[in-house]
Amino acid sequence: MAGTAVRGRLTWQTATVGSVVSETPSVRTISLEVPGWAGHRAGQHVDVRLTAEDGYQAERAYSIASAPGEPLSITVERLDDGEVSPYLTEELRAGDEFEVRGPIGGYFVWDAADGGPLLLLAGGSGIVPLRAILRHRERLGSTVPVRLLYSSRSWADVIYRDELGRPADGVAVIHTLTRQQPPGWTGYARRVDREMIASVAWPVAQAPLAYACGPTNFVEAVASALVAIGYPPRRIRTERFGATGQ
Ligand SMILES: Cc1cc2nc3c(=O)[nH]c(=O)nc-3n(C[C@H](O)[C@H](O)[C@H](O)COP(=O)(O)OP(=O)(O)OC[C@H]3O[C@@H](n4cnc5c(N)ncnc54)[C@H](O)[C@@H]3O)c2cc1C
């Protein structure tokens, strides 16, 4: 019933932590059990609300890391001076509870009907919703060609590194490491710029669909570069995490 679905999305629900997995020294993936979770689309996010013993509450948005049909999970990067992310990454244990609301968002999503080819551009934890898109594509058996350009500070900061190292057929993963590169690194070693995007991007004539996600300055630089090389703005979908991340 439509009314039930709307109420479910907007209502805070109790989530119980199933597991906490380290992705990098500062990033954890938290799987959540939410009774009656109605499912989600690839690219959506949830709001998380923490309540302290004195009643103080803090809310933050987190992209959904899992594909539709998989158990709900989020991936959080610790900002040392942040309010919420240090708790989620360092303090949480299996069995702990907090509140979630969602899924939220109908624009930064990919479904099979959206087609491709897909150009995915991630800065830091901006990889999270794009990982959900990649997993969704794979679970569907979609053959839409994908190129992912992923900017991280260093190899140790690459989130989902093993998973991205085994891409599905038709998926190319291109890394750039902006601050530190391992010995013998032959890949990109600078911030994403127009020239890099031009060499990675699908030709405009193929009518690609681009998704850019990460810190606000990353997303703005990438979106401007895409427009500069001729991508129509309506084929560029963006998600800004705020002045955080890289
Ligand atoms: C749609 C969406 C999806 C997101 N998905 C993810 C995700 O998948 N993974 C993820 O890790 N993050 C994600 N984020 C970011 C997330 O919501 C939080 O912003 C992030 O975790 C930081 O929260 P925090 O409470 O730890 O830090 P905050 O306490 O909010 O602080 C963030 C930064 O701002 C600075 N700051 C805080 N207050 C001030 C102030 N008054 N003046 C100046 N500077 C200040 C802090 O020093 C810190 O560096 C997403 C954001 C959005 C909008």
The one-digit pLDDT tens for each residue of the chain (246 residues) are 344 444 456 899 999 999 999 999 999 999 999 998 989 999 999 999 999 999 999 999 999 999 999 999 999 999 999 999 999 999 999 999 999 999 999 999 999 999 999 999 999 999 999 999 999 999 999 999 999 999 999 999 999 999 999 999 999 999 999 999 999 999 999 999 999 999 999 999 999 999 999 999 999 999 999 999 999 999 999 999 998 644
The strand pair at 236-240 and 209-214 is best described as parallel
What's this model's pTM, rounded to 2 decimal places?
A: 0.94
Can you read off the two tokens belonging to residue 189? Answer: 């070693």
Contact 31, 72 (CB under 8 A): yes
Give, as one character, the DSSP assignment of residue 79: P
3-state secondary structure of 48: strand
pLDDT of residue 3: 41
Q: Which amino acid is at 179?
A: R
Indicate whether residue 73 lines ligand 1 (CB < 6 A). Answer: no
Give the distance (Å) from ligand 1 centre to CA of residue 145. Answer: 32
pLDDT of residue 243: 81
- Of all protein residues, the one whose alpha carbon is nearest to atom 45 of ligand 1 is 82
Conformation bin of residue 34: beta by default, left when phi > 0, alpha when psi is -120 to 50: beta
Can you read off the two tokens belonging to residue 210? Answer: 């681009």
Contact 201, 123 (CB under 8 A): no
CA–CA gap between residue 193 and residue 224 (Å, rounded): 10
The strand pair at 27-33 and 57-63 is best described as unpaired
End-to-end CA distance of the chain: 42
Q: How many residues does the chain have?
A: 246
Indicate whether residue 157 lines ligand 1 (CB < 6 A). Answer: no
The count of other CB atoms within 10 Å of the CB of residue 115 is 13
CA 238 to chain centre: 11
- Cis-peptide into 117, omega within 30 deg: yes
- Cis-peptide into 215, omega within 30 deg: no
- Best residue among 27, 44, 79, 237 to mutate for probing ligand 1's pocket (most ligand atoms within 8 Å of CB) is 79
